[in-house]
Copies of this chain bind each other. A is one copy, B any other.
Amino acid sequence: MKYIQEFREGDHVAGIYLCKQKNSAVTKNGKPYDNVILQDKTGSIDCKIWDVGSAGICDFDALDYVDIVGEVSSFNGALQVSIKRTRVAGEGEYDPRDYLPVSERDIDEMYKELLGYVGDISNHYLKALLDEFFVKDEAFIKRFKQASAAKSVHHCFVGGLLENTVSVANLCRYYAAKYPMLKKDLVVSAALLHDIGKVYEISSFPENDYTDEGNLLGHIVMGSNMVGKKAAKVEGFSKSDLLQLQHCILAHHGKLEFGSPKTPALVEALALSYADDTDAKMETFKEILENNSGNPGWFGFQKFLDGNVRATR
């Protein structure tokens, strides 16, 4: 199978691709046709099915994996695939990881790193709480590993939430070593849990869109609630510890106008908010550099960095 990135005008292509979008239209002459967007991990491409009723065209829907045959042409300067045959692929025929943007780091390796951080927690209750999520709750673990950290912006790929979580926890461990007034167990636990609400705020890949709960409550409140419920399962978990941990989660966006209902009132909450902000902005800059790799000049105004940027020479 050829990756979409490698498609060239005139190619005959055949293989399984993920259908990202599909909708029907009518030509000027009144003939129906389908607009389709196919995707793999290297990119996506516009496609047309001009003979929607032909024998070789089996019906399929958005988010199906579809085995297609087609021809690549150029229209208005962009490539386009004219699809001649389609067939919905069976589950064993493809590896979903070939079709989704995915973390550069190995997911299992990152998860191992995360479990190492959990293992370093000395406080019995906090460790037990983390185990409830990261060791015992298999449904949670499966979704957590797959989740992206965002619908758009940064860390927007399979494993993005895990990658961001490990990175923020790593920063907080460093802060705890550097600034002795920080309680290490609290700030690292808060870092590991700060975005768990995203597991249910954004639906799984390939859909990756806000859920109803996500839109109505948001991952900040959802994460705080999830911690509250698991803590109730840990015998002896004190109300005071729970409030402090929930506060760190609620305050981790740092300011009210960024969606935190409370500003940091504990030094660990302040540290976590800086770790999260730093990691998000560094990842954003990294992705901009990658998207412009090979460009020796200025990339133009970047909305999320509020200015024009370039690669360092």
A positions within 8 Å CB-CB of B? 9-10, 25-28, 30, 73-77, 167, 170-171, 174-175, 178-179, 181, 183, 186, 210, 212-213, 215-218, 220-221, 224-225, 228, 240, 243-244, 246-247, 250, 255-268, 270-271, 274, 277-278, 281-282, 285-286, 289, 298, 305-310, 312-313
Contacts and interface: CB of A to CB of B under 8 A. Distances in A.
Contacts of A257: 256-257
Given A26-B9, A30-B74, A74-B26, A262 B218 contact: yes
A239 to B, nearest CB: 8
A244 B213 CA distance: 9
Contacts of A281: 270, 274
Nearest to A265: B309
Given A215-B308, A243-B216, A298-B215, A170 B178 contact: yes
Q: What is the oligomeric copy number?
A: 6
Contacts of A174: 174
Contacts of A264: 305, 307, 309
A306 B262 CA distance: 10
A7 B271 CA distance: 38
B246 A286 contact: no
Among A175, A186, A216, A259, the most chain B Cβ lie within 10 Å of the Cβ of A216
B261 A260 contact: yes
A26 B77 contact: yes
Contact of A289 (B212, B265, B267, B274): B267
